[in-house]
A and B are shown apart, each in its own frame.
Chain A
Amino acid sequence: MGTVWFCLVAVMVAMYVLLDGFDLGAGAIHFLVAKTDEERRQVIASIGPVWDGNEVWLLAAGGTLYFAFPMLYASGFSGFYLPLMMVLWLLILRGSAIEFRNHLDSRVWIPFWDFVFSASSLLLVVFFGAALGNVVRGVPLDETGYFFEPLWTNFRFSEHTGILDWYTVLVGVTALAALMMHGALWIRLKTSGDVGERAAKLASSAWWGVLVLTGLLTMITFAVQPQVTANFKTWPLGYILPAIAIAGLAGVQFELRRRGELNAFLASATYLLGMLTSVVFGLYPMVLPARNAAFSLTVASAKAGTYGLKVGLIWWAIGMILAAIYFVYVYRSFAGKVSTETDTDGYGH
């Protein structure tokens, strides 16, 4: 039952990365693809009706983590206290920026919120990436099941790690490259004209960055977290997951050349999915590895009572079917390219 929930939480986190990933990525490249106010309205309009729903995946995944693995929630969230609070502040700023940008037609109001939107999106991606890096490398848990790590130390290759250090920042930068590509492909899919053209170019150059960083990071990760190596050795079938990631990344390049807009976006989603499932597969059965392996939180040690997990499975399934219906309906309602005439005025006014 614990393993089932381990997989379900992973699915929800993956959904969050795929969906909110494109609107975070779109925010990070906001100034790179859109130069005028009208173009920026297009970018905002392309994510306007869906960003909030996408972000709900984070809340839903958090809630699910809470009741399925209470110990992990308690230990992880209190251990990552400072960076998590900063993530919350960034989420507050970003949500305000998207919602309030179009409320006032002013030359100080709009550029201000554009900047807040873009900067907070960019920092959020780096922070989320760094968080993933911390989880993969492990944290200094002790026998009580808790830890607290400084925000940063000296960024050197040493035992004295911080939440932000060379490895986790590298993961953050990789995440940024990947989501910039993902967001650019979304913007290219949803907009026309100059914005779409610039997004296509940006996606092509980001692709090379993703390729190099992914290769580098994969090699380092095998060294940093021995469990990953062990898992792939024990269950060689797991190699299918990184293969999916590689196929997705190749697909992006292929579709970019064929100018397949939707397919390129889906290929990028496949790449992200392959990467995330590889990480999850590599960590199992740990949910939060410790430096001292004896104190690692595992599926078995962190999970909640069996009855609660069983009953949760019933309502979770019902809720997910409903959520899937809403998402299909909403994405279909806002299908097609955003039009500067109807959508940009409609959103936020």
Chain B
Amino acid sequence: MGSALDVHRLHFAFTITFHYLFPQLTMGLALLIVLLKTMALRTGEEHYNRAARFWAKIFGINFALGVVTGIPMEFQFGTNWAEFSRTAGGVIGQTLAMEGIFSFFLESSFLGLFLYGERRLGRIGHWWAGFLVFLGSWMSGYLIVATDAWMQHPTGYRLLPNGEIELASFWGLLLNPWALRQYAHNMLGALQTGCFVMAAVGAFYLLTRRELLYGRTFVRAGVTVGVFAAILQLVPTGDLQGKMIAEYQPTTLAGMEGLFVSQEGAPLAILGQPDVARRKLDNPLEIPAMLSFLTYRHWQAHVRGLDAFPEDQWPDKIELLYYSYHIMVGLGTIFIAVMGLAAILLWRHKLYESRWMLWILMLSVPLPYIANTAGWLTAELGRQPWVIYGLMRTAHGASPRVVAANAWFTLLGFMGMYTVLAILWLFLVYQEIERGPEPETPAMSREVSPAATD
């Protein structure tokens, strides 16, 4: 951890990981809030509007934290990764600038109206404000994924004799096939965070026997959307992503899977610890020939292991890459089971009384955050040793004049500041949950008084 390069990498990794805790929830919640507002319009029940208002408050807190931790991201490209920016800024600056101009103006303008202008806007107008916030946040997601996708799989560029890279095709950059698939996979991940958080708050209310009507609505909404998101996360989007990696980043695939030796009928490692020095997987628990099948739809297909590539092209943190990937996939599988089971209980009208299931839903709340983080770690560690895959090495991308001491100074500063933000975040969100949604009108609360449901 001595060299400036390592500190710059940790600096970006730390700030982006912390930042993404917030957008993943706001992107997921934005869609769910639009759904609640739509239900309110369709059924005419004020209950859904109150539910939407409650989630809008949680959205607001997370959005604010997303904004303040997001600003450093854009600037770090210049401050810590100057050589990368000089070389590729003409390309990735496009998508980053578009994010500001198309998404942030939209979001920031209409969020204020959505949060504080319900009376001024009226029912339809308020739905539109919510929809535009959703649109802005999902567009922002696309432009960031497109930026990352270009680093994973550069398209639409031209290499100049002086080593700089310039844009050659705008649509090539914007409609990068990698971006489309990664976006679908990523947004489902965000949606799962939204669903799990909503269902968990609902489960908390039901388990503590309060806000019963809201508790049911939240659990129902979270589980109904969540079960589809959990399945689509694996097939087709996760599967497509895996095939894409196998085709364009075979070293990444080998590292993710801990496959040191090329072989036919390669097994899929479920558990095990990659020993990079000895080039083998310790204590493996494997499904024979499964990796070959998943990658090429053929049980005996030849899969290239790390030994098929020169060592200077291997991802440089194979252990971390391997674990990130396995944690992501393992949790994704658990999500299908949890959401699937909850959905069956919901369908059979047993979910609200199944306290064990509500406990599981409530305690699952950190898991989608971990899975989303692990997924991004897989993508970014898997891209190593390249900052732009095949074109520029990470080692050549950092700022030449920013020494390790300066990078440490600011990294420690961010760590301190973000610790405070994390405490504030938990405190404020818990406070909103504790305060709860506005009470129902007397007529409705009588209908679902605790005595009636027990």
Residues of A within 8 A of B (CB): 48-50, 52-53, 55-56, 58-60, 62-64, 66-68, 70-71, 73-82, 84-85, 88-89, 91-93, 95-96, 99-100, 103-104, 144-148, 304-305, 307-308, 311-312, 315-316, 319-320, 322-323, 326-327, 329-330, 333-334, 343, 346-347
Residue of A67, A78, A308 touching B79 (CB-CB under 8 A):
A78
Q: Are B89 and A304 in contact, CB atoms less than 8 angstroms apart?
A: yes
Residues of B within 8 A of A (CB): 60-61, 64-65, 67-69, 71-72, 74-75, 77-80, 82-83, 85-94, 96-102, 104-106, 108-113, 116-117, 120, 158, 160, 164, 166-168, 170, 399-402, 406, 409-410, 413, 417, 421, 424, 428, 431
* Residues of chain B with a CB closer than 8 A to A79's CB: 401
Q: Give Cα A82 to B117, complex, Å.
A: 40
* Residues of chain A with a CB closer than 8 A to B99's CB: 63
Q: Are B428 and A66 in contact, CB atoms less than 8 angstroms apart?
A: no
User: Which 6 A/B pairs are nearest by Cβ-Cβ distance?
Assistant: A67-B93, A70-B89, A77-B78, A305-B166, A63-B97, A304-B90
Q: Are B402 and A78 in contact, CB atoms less than 8 angstroms apart?
A: yes
Q: A53-B108, A82-B410, A99-B60 are in contact. Are A70 and B97 (CB under 8 A)?
A: no
Q: Given known contacts A64-B97, A82-B410, what 4 new A-B pairs fall within 8 Å (CB)?
A: A63-B93, A78-B78, A78-B399, A316-B101
* Residues of chain B with a CB closer than 8 A to A330's CB: 109, 112-113
Q: A60-B105, A66-B78, A312-B94 are in contact. Are A88 and B85 (CB under 8 A)?
A: no
* Residues of chain A with a CB closer than 8 A to B72's CB: 85, 88, 92
Q: Give Cα A53 to B101, complex, Å.
A: 11
Q: Are B109 and A70 in contact, CB atoms less than 8 angstroms apart?
A: no
Q: Are A347 and B116 in contact, CB atoms less than 8 angstroms apart?
A: yes
Tell me the smallest distance from the CB of A26 to a CB of chain B, in Å. 16
Tell me the smallest distance from the CB of B398 to a CB of chain A, in Å. 9
Q: A63-B97, A326-B105 are in contact. Are A48 and B428 (CB under 8 A)?
A: no
Q: Are A56 and B105 in contact, CB atoms less than 8 angstroms apart?
A: yes
Quick one: closest B residue to A62, CB to CB? Answer: B74
Tell me the smallest distance from the CB of A19 to a CB of chain B, in Å. 11
Residue of B94, B158, B410 touching A67 (CB-CB under 8 A):
B94
29 contacts between A and B (CB under 8 A): A48-B116, A55-B108, A56-B100, A58-B71, A59-B100, A60-B97, A60-B100, A64-B101, A70-B88, A71-B89, A73-B89, A74-B78, A74-B86, A78-B78, A88-B75, A91-B71, A92-B68, A96-B64, A96-B421, A145-B86, A146-B399, A146-B400, A147-B401, A305-B160, A311-B167, A319-B101, A322-B102, A330-B109, A346-B116
Q: A100-B64, A320-B101, A330-B113 are in contact. Are A59 and B424 (CB under 8 A)?
A: no
Q: Are A53 and B109 in contact, CB atoms less than 8 angstroms apart?
A: yes
Q: Give Cα A59 to B74, complex, Å.
A: 8
Q: Give Cα A85 to B94, complex, Å.
A: 23
Residue of B71, B78, B102 touching A319 (CB-CB under 8 A):
B102
Q: Are A53 and B89 in contact, CB atoms less than 8 angstroms apart?
A: no
Q: Are B100 and A53 in contact, CB atoms less than 8 angstroms apart?
A: no
Quick one: closest A residue to B15, CB to CB? Answer: A88
Residue of A103, A147, A312, A323 touching B105 (CB-CB under 8 A):
A323
* Residues of chain A with a CB closer than 8 A to B80's CB: 78, 81
Tell me the smallest distance from the CB of A46 to a CB of chain B, in Å. 13
Quick one: closest B residue to A305, CB to CB? Answer: B166
Q: Are A82 and B97 in contact, CB atoms less than 8 angstroms apart?
A: no
Quick one: closest B residue to A311, CB to CB? Answer: B170
Q: Are A82 and B409 in contact, CB atoms less than 8 angstroms apart?
A: yes
Q: Give Cα A184 to B72, complex, Å.
A: 29
* Residues of chain B with a CB closer than 8 A to A334's CB: 112
Quick one: closest A residue to B117, CB to CB? Answer: A333
Residue of A99, A148, A329, A343 touching B401 (CB-CB under 8 A):
A148
Quick one: closest B residue to A85, CB to CB? Answer: B410
Q: Are A52 and B67 in contact, CB atoms less than 8 angstroms apart?
A: yes
* Residues of chain B with a CB closer than 8 A to A95's CB: 64, 67-68
* Residues of chain A with a CB closer than 8 A to B410's CB: 81-82, 85
* Residues of chain B with a CB closer than 8 A to A103's CB: 61, 428, 431
Tell me the smallest distance from the CB of A333 to a CB of chain B, in Å. 6
Q: Are A326 and B413 in contact, CB atoms less than 8 angstroms apart?
A: no
